[in-house]
């Protein structure tokens, strides 16, 4: 790596084509990376950027095309080949073994550890040296499960530097970081490029792309639809290239009348999966006709909050009052009967039964009520009627009502869930990460549906890690950090920098600004 001079072409992908049954994931894609640069691969979910990088890292094999490293054609058919060629990859979800230490994670699979017995002393030594050089503070003897998300990412970067990669792929590396941590990461990445490494940065966050990239390649439907640099383009142009049409980056807001409190939470404490407090002394109120946003990096108690409110997780102390009824520690069923709907964060895990048909999923929460249930038997005519009405109203794209839900796209599965949850015009809606991972078209639609519900007087608690979304939709924004509300800002006073500080756990002085 050290013998590389900046500007030399490190990698060339030439005419890469990858066909999956029924879909062309990559269609003659050309892409190259020079040493010392950050080349961003931008595109919507499903545009083919992850497929392309998985081909480069040996996780998939290309049907056609050539990979050249420093001008020489190479075959990469497994991650070991990629590692041998000096390619590293930081995956969207961390490739770390939580029950092993930092040093063990770094040592895993190293050529030097092909020996029978394990000797971690030199590994620890080298980790300390690299930590110092790159400002990646981390204790080699900590277990991964003890580390915060930001620290884990440092371990991932250390793994790559340790292996002396000349080319590093970063797949959506900022999705779990606070704005301040993103700044630190970018500083480390710039230091790496100064040393002559080439970086591939995969993202869909336009402002980050503009801030970090030297060059940008945009993919849509498996094809390259644009090549540009930050100097020559704007966020709007990039969005246009990604989606293929003009998009509004901010949702249209409508008027609504704020009414009485629908959800009141006082002194809420909830215990997380690991037995530690996940939500601490939380107070919040949502009134009819308003959207209250919960911003924050995910993993700060948002999921536990939503689960406690919907009855899926016990409340340790405090009270939850919905429409004047105390629902603390009531069952999900009882809470639903109070006209409460919940769009869950993990739609594939919680929101639908993948193997069930679209129709079955549409009646999943009402299956035991008339008219669907008649003396314990299912009324299939009713199911069909209800199902087709909902599919039509919420424009769920599905071949038939009997289609297994798993074969729908992410955006359409989310529409299905929203159709079911909004079918009864709920008085309170808890929406967790409602547009995560869906395409821009579906996200726009979902935003407009939420705004419509707000206008009708639904109280909406919107939990989202997407700051643009929260700032676009919410009337008030509460920021969660380590289970606490750090502050609540009115829509008018919420800026990225103020929210970012709160997200990092920095309390605002009382006389703010």
Partner 1 sequence: MSDFFTATVLLATLASGIRLATPFLLAALGETLGQKSGVLNLGVEGVMLLGAYGAYYATLRTDSVLIGIGVGVLVGAFMGVVYGVVTLALKAEQGISGIGIFIFGLGISDLLFQKQVGTPTPIDGLGHFSIPVLGDLPLIGEALFQQNVLVYVAFLLVPALWFVINRTTFGLNVKAVGETPEAADSLGVSVDRTRYITIIVGNAMAGLAGAALALELAIFQQNLTNGHGFIAIALVYFGAWRPSGVMAGALVFGLIQAMVLQWKTLGIVVGTTASIVGMFPAVLTILVLVVVSRGTGAPAALTRPFERGH
Partner 2 sequence: MLIGAVLAAGLIGAVMLLVLGANPLTGYAALIDGAFGGTKNLANSALKAMPLLLVGAGITVAFRTGVINIGGEGQIIAGAILSTLLVLALPDVPRLILLPSAFLFGAIGGAIWGGMAGALKSYAGVNEILSTIMLNIIAVQILNLLLRGPLMDPGEIERGSRIPHTERLSGNADLPILPGGTRLHFGVIVAVVMAVVCYVLLFRTTQGLRLRASGHNPFASLYAGMSVKRNVVLAFMYSGAMCGLAGVTLVFGSEGHRLATDGGATTFTGAAGFNGIVAALFGGLHPLWTIPASFLFGALLVGANAMQREVQVPAALILGLNGLVVVFVVASLQTRVRLAQIASRLRGEEQADLSLSDEASSAEAGADTS
Binding-site member from 23, 97, 137, 250 for partner 1 (CB under 8 A): 97
Segment contacting partner 2 (CB under 8 A): 9-17, 107-115, 179-187, 296-304? 296-304
Query: In which residue are the tokens 């359409």 written?
Result: 412
Q: What is the widest separation between alpha-carbon atoms in the chain?
A: 78
**73/98 with CB nearer partner 2:** 98
**274/375 with CB nearer partner 1:** 274
**Cβ atoms of residues 52 and 61 within 8 Å:** no
Q: How far apart are the C-alpha atoms of 144 and 391, rounded to whole Å? A: 44
Q: Using H for helix, E for strand and C for coil, what is the string for 416-429? A: HHHHHHHCCCCCEE
Cα separation values, 50 from 11, 154, 343, Å:
17, 21, 27
Assess 96 for contact with partner 1 (CB under 8 A).
yes
Q: Which of 419, 379, 381, 382 is nearest to 398 (CA)?
A: 419
Assess 208 for contact with partner 1 (CB under 8 A).
no
Which of partner 1, partner 2, none does 376 bind, CB closer than 5 to 8 A by kind? partner 2
**Cβ atoms of residues 123 and 107 within 8 Å:** yes
**123/390 with CB nearer partner 1:** 123
Structure tokens at 68: 């050249």
Which of partner 2, partner 1, none does 249 bind, CB closer than 5 to 8 A by kind? none
Q: How far apart are the first and last CA of the chain?
A: 47
Site for partner 1 in 40-69 (CB under 8 A): 54, 57, 59-60
Assess 222 for contact with partner 1 (CB under 8 A).
no
Q: How far apart are the C-alpha atoms of 284 and 163, rounded to whole Å? A: 48
Assess 280 for contact with partner 2 (CB under 8 A).
no
Residues 6+ apart with CB under 8 A from 377: none
Assess 176 for contact with partner 1 (CB under 8 A).
no
Assess 438 for contact with partner 2 (CB under 8 A).
yes
Q: How far apart are the C-alpha atoms of 269 and 111, rounded to whole Å? A: 48
Assess 449 for contact with partner 1 (CB under 8 A).
no
CA 421 to chain centre: 22
Which of partner 2, partner 1, none does 89 bind, CB closer than 5 to 8 A by kind? partner 1
Q: How far apart are the C-alpha atoms of 131 and 142, rounded to whole Å? A: 14
Binding-site member from 2, 5, 22, 115 for partner 1 (CB under 8 A): 115
Assess 98 for contact with partner 1 (CB under 8 A).
yes
Measure the CA angle with vertex 140, ends 139 and 141; round to 5°: 90
Assess 408 for contact with partner 2 (CB under 8 A).
yes
Backbone angles phi, psi at 367, to 5 degrees: -65, -25
Assess 105 for contact with partner 1 (CB under 8 A).
yes
Q: Which residues bind partner 1 (CB under 8 A)?
A: 54, 57, 59-60, 78-80, 83, 89, 91, 94-100, 104-105, 107-110, 113-118, 159
Q: Which residues bind partner 2 (CB under 8 A)?
A: 20-23, 25, 45-46, 48, 50-51, 92-94, 96, 98, 144-145, 149, 175-176, 221-222, 273, 298-299, 303, 310, 312, 331-333, 336, 342, 344-356, 360, 364-365, 367-368, 372-373, 376-378, 404, 406-413, 436-439
């Amino acid at each position: 790596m050290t013998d590389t001079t900046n500007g030399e072409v490190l990698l060339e992908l030439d005419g890469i084509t990858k066909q999956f049954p029924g879909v062309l994931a990559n269609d003659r894609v050309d892409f190259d990376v020079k040493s010392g640069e950050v080349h961003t691969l931008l595109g919507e979910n499903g545009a083919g950027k992850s497929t392309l990088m998985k081909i480069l890292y040996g996780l998939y094999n290309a049907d056609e095309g050539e990979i050249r490293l420093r001008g020489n054609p190479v075959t990469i058919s497994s991650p070991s080949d990629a590692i041998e060629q000096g390619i590293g990859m930081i995956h969207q979800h961390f490739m770390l073994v939580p029950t092993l230490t930092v040093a063990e994670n770094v040592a895993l699979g190293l050529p030097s550890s092909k020996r029978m017995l394990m000797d971690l002393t030199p590994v620890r030594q080298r980790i300390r040296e690299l930590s110092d050089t790159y400002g990646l503070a981390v204790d080699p003897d900590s277990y991964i499960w003890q580390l915060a998300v930001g620290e884990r990412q440092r371990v991932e970067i250390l793994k790559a530097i340790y292996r002396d990669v000349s080319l590093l792929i970063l797949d959506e590396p900022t999705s779990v970081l606070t704005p301040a941590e993103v700044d630190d990461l970018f500083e480390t990445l710039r230091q790496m490029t100064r040393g002559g490494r080439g970086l591939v940065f995969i993202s869909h966050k336009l402002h980050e792309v503009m801030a970090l990239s030297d060059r940008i390649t945009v993919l849509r439907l498996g094809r390259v639809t644009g090549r540009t640099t930050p100097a020559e383009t704007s966020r709007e142009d990039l969005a246009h290239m990604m989606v293929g049409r003009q998009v509004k980056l901010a949702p249209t807001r409508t008027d609504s009348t704020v009414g009485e409190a629908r959800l009141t939470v006082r002194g809420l404490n909830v215990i997380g999966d690991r037995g530690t407090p996940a939500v601490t002394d939380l107070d919040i109120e949502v009134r009819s006709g308003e959207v209250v946003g919960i911003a924050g990096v995910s993993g700060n108690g948002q999921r536990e909050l939503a689960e406690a409110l919907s009855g899926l997780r016990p409340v340790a102390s405090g009270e939850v009052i919905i429409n004047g009824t105390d629902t603390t520690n009531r069952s999900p069923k009882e809470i639903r009967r109070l006209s409460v709907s919940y769009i869950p964060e993990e739609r594939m895990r919680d929101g639908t039964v993948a193997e069930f048909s679209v129709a079955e999923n549409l009646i999943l929460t009402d299956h035991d009520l008339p008219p669907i249930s008649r003396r314990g038997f299912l009324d299939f005519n009713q199911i069909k009627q209800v199902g087709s009405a909902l599919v039509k109203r919420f424009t769920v794209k599905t071949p038939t009502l009997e289609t297994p839900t798993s074969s729908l796209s992410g955006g359409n599965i989310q529409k299905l869930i929203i159709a079911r949850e909004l079918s009864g015009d709920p008085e309170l809606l808890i929406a967790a990460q409602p547009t995560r991972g869906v395409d821009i078209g579906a996200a726009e639609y979902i935003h407009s549906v939420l705004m419509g519900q707000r206008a009708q007087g639904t109280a909406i608690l919107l939990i989202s890690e997407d700051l643009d979304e929260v700032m676009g939709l919410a009337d008030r924004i509460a920021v969660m950090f380590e289970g606490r509300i750090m502050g609540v800002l009115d829509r008018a006073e919420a800026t990225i920098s103020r929210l970012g500080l709160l997200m990092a756990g920095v309390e605002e002085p009382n006389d703010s600004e």
